[in-house]
Chains A and B, each alone.
Chain A
Amino acid sequence: MHGKDVRLEGVQITYPNGFTAVQPTDLTIKAGEFFSILGPSGCGKTTILRTVSGFVEPTAGRVLIGGEDMRGIAPNGRPTALIFQNLALFPLMPVWENVAFGLESRGVPKAARRSKALELLDLVALRDQADKKPGELSGGQRQRVAIARALAVEPAVLLLDEPLSALDLKLRQHMRAELREIQRKTGVTFIYITHDQGEALTMSDRIAVMNNGVIEQVGTGDEIYSEPRTAFAASFVGEANQMQGRVCGLDGDMAVIETAQGRLLGRNPCGLKDGDEAMLFVRPEALVWASSRAPDTNRLIARPVRRDLEGSFVNIVLRTNTGANLTMHQVNTGAEIDMESDASVRFPCEQAVVLPKGPLAQTGQELAAQ
């Protein structure tokens, strides 16, 4: 099996009801890459997947797989295989027939089909379940059957539509490793759709962060996490303290931003100019208690209001005198925190980033209110 590259050139998708699910997008996914598209529900990521698999024709632009224009080629003619969110296993067929279905469609004789199916079931460690019905398997096993079924047609590109979302946490973590392993073994290009940043960060070679039909940023997990380029990417991936303000000074590749909490300094990767509306993002783990000898830059006065034990680290919520909330992660050393008096916290300017003002990812509170 060999992966192929996938290129989207100016792909735009507008549904018949006038809703544009994907704004004109250029995207290149390299051959043999584990590529994730990460975004909240309704951002258009599944539409991109369905466009690549051929269930949706782009309104404008084109899709190339291995350099070949896919226009007018039906799903069953493309070198892709899709794994559905609900897996869509065929409940009335035994497991091996599920796996062999793609071969059956290609006219492979029964004996050859079965041996190939068993071979693939070996790959996902399910050979002994070959004659059961999918309904008799556990969630993780069904997951692996779906993968084997998709791999049976020897696709160059495997498309996965949030396949792990139905599993519980432990199994999900295990399946991440397994998916990664299968991808490495087969060398097939994986395009993985998820709204779970943990999945995207742990498995992917590269990630595209998507919002409202627009791909906001493409990069490796580290790049996305440490060097977000848009307010949305910064707020969607990982946790971030955000402070809104206006750029009031530039210092090399740093920018000073005037916020309600005072003047703060951070990196300026987008080349913001003096007077631009901007937002400063800083990760909770970048916040530290400030000693009296520490420099004054990026120092904030706040009172701890909550301490949540997360296990290996402690999540501390502080409230500044202007009423803004800050989140701080500290390695769990068992140290007591004084919840009664104001404290001084600071963050290194290299770990803060100033980005143009833009839409943010919805917080948990907002999601709950919906």
Chain B
Amino acid sequence: MKSLVNGYGRGLVALFFGAVALWGILLIILPQLTMLERAITAPKRQLDSSIALNLRQDANTCISVLQTFETPVEGSGANGGIAIPSASGMAVPSASAMAVPSASGMAVPSATGAATGKTRPYILQCDRATTRKQMVRDGGTKVWLNELYDLPLLAVSDSDPISRQIEIAKEIAEQSETLYGRLKEVESSAFPYTSQNFKWLFAARQIPLSQEQRAIEDAKLSKQLFGLVGLRFERDGEIYERIGLITLTRTLSFAIMATTLALVLCYPMAYKVALATPPDRAMWLFLGLVIPYAIVELMRVYAWTTIIDNQGLINGFLTWAGVIEDPIQFKRMPGTIFVVIVYTYVLFMVFPIYNVMSTLDKNQIEAAKDLGASALRVHRRIIIPHSKPGIAVGCIATFMLAAGAFSVPRIISRGLQAEWFSQTIYNKFFESENSNVGAAYSFTYTLVCFVIVALFMWIMRTRLKDFARVQ
């Protein structure tokens, strides 16, 4: 510290430490804290107040739609955009096939059914405007809004006259409005955090399987392994799987396998370039390694699709050679993903190892050989111990990149394989709009990866200061 101040002056050192602190706070601590807070907050839409609020909104919409029917109008064009038939179809008036979908494809029953005595078509929001709302509770216990908060059982019935329906809807809106205000007050003073989001990760899902499918699944080694560690189990003759955990485990094991494969490839490569080739020729080897990295990552991944596609290079060649008739479905094989991952991130393994290895005094290798050591012993006792920090850094970098890989599994598998955990997180955030669960997944993932890295460093007996040797 003192030498730093002496070397660079107080101002520059302060600036440096300030920048480091700012970086740490803005880019590591703050995002993680935000993520953690999100992860332990219950999803807003599951709160009782949110349900009351939704009820009020439904009731209000119902009212405004119903008001267009107070003076009966022939034809349904005016409300086509709002009234949506329920999926169950149960509320569709008169099954007498009089309801003809409108030409617009919105499947709005025509109001020509007036002949049956009904005065309005089906309106989703009116259907939903009832105080008998189910609340979101753990373990699927059924709790109803009206019973829980002592509200009268109110529902908009389409058999009532329109004016009566509006009256009831107004009543519901009023009731839910007051309830919302009350609940909001209660919730703002209640303890806001929950571990509910994390439970989703461990939740088991029933997997519907036919007998034959089940026999096939049961025979799979991976499924048996999942069964062994309790990620897959049978209850009442049905198969359950902890999907979240299974995805997590699969992704981590693939990432570890990809890292191992990269290490197995890169160690000899780094050795060859750093120690076993005269410097003038090593440059060409090196160039060969670097050039692919002048291409953007996405392009490198896409390039693989031209190789592995059904009409791709490999299949094309094999078909032409008459070896196969139907193309091999590479994009359905998990192996393809981690081969591509290895290719994509191999340089993050090669460079740290190369850097450390090239600092090894070649005399040490010669000395060891001179003392009678075999090539294997030279590697085991001299080169590997020296390169350990580089190997550790390379493994950590490759592992983290592989574990967080998003583009590779997405582009290569195109949805034809089980998703990687990174995709699961993305989907939670942006596809199912459940950012709290997404945050819980993401935070857990960060922690698990951190633990794996720490464990790895402990096994490798590398300390942080060793990393200083990796330039």
**Chain-A contact segment, one of B17-25, B144-152, B165-173, B379-387:** B379-387
Tell me whether A74 and B381 are in contact (CB under 8 A): no
Q: Is B364's beta carbon under 8 Å from chain A?
A: yes
Which residues of chain B come closer than 8 Å to A150, judged between CB atoms?
A: 371
Which residues of chain A come closer than 8 Å to B29, judged between CB atoms?
A: none
Once A88-B361, A90-B382 are accepted as A-B contacts, the answer to whether A82 and B372 lie under 8 Å apart by CB is no
Which residues of chain A come closer than 8 Å to B373, judged between CB atoms?
A: 76, 101, 104-105
In the complex, which residue of chain B has the Cβ closest to the Cβ of A146? B367
A-B contact pairs, 27 of them (CB 8 A): A53-B370, A55-B366, A55-B370, A75-B369, A75-B370, A76-B373, A77-B372, A81-B371, A82-B366, A82-B370, A84-B366, A86-B363, A88-B366, A88-B367, A90-B364, A90-B367, A90-B381, A92-B386, A93-B381, A101-B373, A102-B372, A104-B377, A105-B368, A105-B373, A105-B377, A149-B371, A153-B372
Q: Mark A45-65, 1 if CB is under 8 A from B, else 0.
A: 000000001110000000000
Q: Which of B370, B372, B374, B386 has its CB near the most chain A CB atoms (within 10 A)?
A: B370
Once A75-B366, A90-B382, A92-B386 are accepted as A-B contacts, the answer to whether A105 and B361 lie under 8 Å apart by CB is no
Once A86-B361, A92-B386 are accepted as A-B contacts, the answer to whether A153 and B371 lie under 8 Å apart by CB is yes
Q: Is A185's beta carbon under 8 Å from chain B?
A: no
Is chain B's binding surface mostly helix, strand, loop or mixed? helix
Bound CA span A48–B369, Å: 18
Bound CA span A84–B362, Å: 11
Bound CA span A48–B382, Å: 26
Which residues of chain A come closer than 8 Å to B374, judged between CB atoms?
A: 76, 105
Which residues of chain A come closer than 8 Å to B364, judged between CB atoms?
A: 88-90
Which residues of chain B come closer than 8 Å to A153, judged between CB atoms?
A: 371-372
Bound CA span A77–B370, Å: 8
How many residues of chain B are within 8 Å of chain A by beta carbon? 17
Bound CA span A86–B361, Å: 9
Bound CA span A341–B372, Å: 67
A residues near B, CB below 8 A?
Answer: 53-55, 74-77, 80-82, 84-86, 88-90, 92-93, 101-102, 104-106, 149-150, 152-153
Once A90-B382, A92-B385, A153-B372 are accepted as A-B contacts, the answer to whether A82 and B377 lie under 8 Å apart by CB is no
Which residues of chain A come closer than 8 Å to B368, judged between CB atoms?
A: 90, 101, 105
Contact of A101 among B361, B366, B381, B385 (CB under 8 A): B381
Could you tell me the distance in whole angstroms from the C-beta of A46 to the nearest C-beta in chain B? 12
Bound CA span A149–B372, Å: 12
Which residues of chain A come closer than 8 Å to B386, judged between CB atoms?
A: 92
Tell me whether A74 and B366 are in contact (CB under 8 A): no
Which residues of chain B come closer than 8 Å to A80, judged between CB atoms?
A: 370
Bound CA span A88–B377, Å: 16
Contact of A82 among B361, B367, B381 (CB under 8 A): B367
Once A90-B381, A92-B386, A105-B377 are accepted as A-B contacts, the answer to whether A76 and B363 lie under 8 Å apart by CB is no
Tell me whether A76 and B370 are in contact (CB under 8 A): yes
In the complex, which residue of chain A has the Cβ closest to the Cβ of B377? A105
Which residues of chain B come closer than 8 Å to A84, judged between CB atoms?
A: 363, 366-367
Could you tell me the distance in whole angstroms from the C-beta of A162 to the nearest C-beta in chain B? 12
* Besides the known contacts A76-B372, A90-B364, 8 further A-B residue pairs in the complex with CB atoms under 8 A apart: A54-B370, A74-B369, A75-B370, A80-B370, A88-B361, A104-B373, A104-B381, A105-B372
